Structure 1
Amino acid sequence: DIDLIRKIFQNNVKNIIESNHKLKESIFTGKYWFDEPYFINYILRDSILTEQIYSEYIITTGSGRSKRRYSIIIKPESL
């Protein structure tokens, strides 16, 4: 069943991100991929500048599969 395969894939990717702090930090802040000042140290959340950058997220495969544009999308869980 394709939905089961998709769910297993999404869980595996999330587990990989959660178990590797450097990877998670890179994805959410850009650190290790960009030099200062091009990665973030703060985020505006509820109109307050905070260092709490991480939030709950979901992983999807994007909408470009039918056009052969394969991607992994990480987006806030609240959307």
Structure 2
Amino acid sequence: MLLSLRHYGPILAIPGVQLRLHDTTLYASIFRVERLDVDERIEEILRRYPAQSPVNRAIQHAEPILVAHVRRTLNRLDEAEHAAQ
């Protein structure tokens, strides 16, 4: 787990952003039903939080990284699906 926390370094450098750990699974992270692409999801988050909100600022700062990671994951899933056929 600590290794994965190093990826939060750039986001944690933003004033007002905090990282809090807990031992429960977030409901929304598992049961989110609507299918949005990464750009739509980021736009939705940015609309939901005011511009000066730590969430909005963190998402704006991390957007290129988030988009790249999501697209890489989708590509890998697509490659795995094609390899299995």
Both proteins in one fold, TM over 0.5: no
What is the TM-score with the length of structure 1 in the denominator?
0.29
Structure with higher RCO (Cα < 8 A, 6+ apart): 2
Q: Counting strand residues as a fraction of each chain, which structure ranks higher?
A: 1
What is the TM-score with the length of structure 2 in the denominator?
0.27
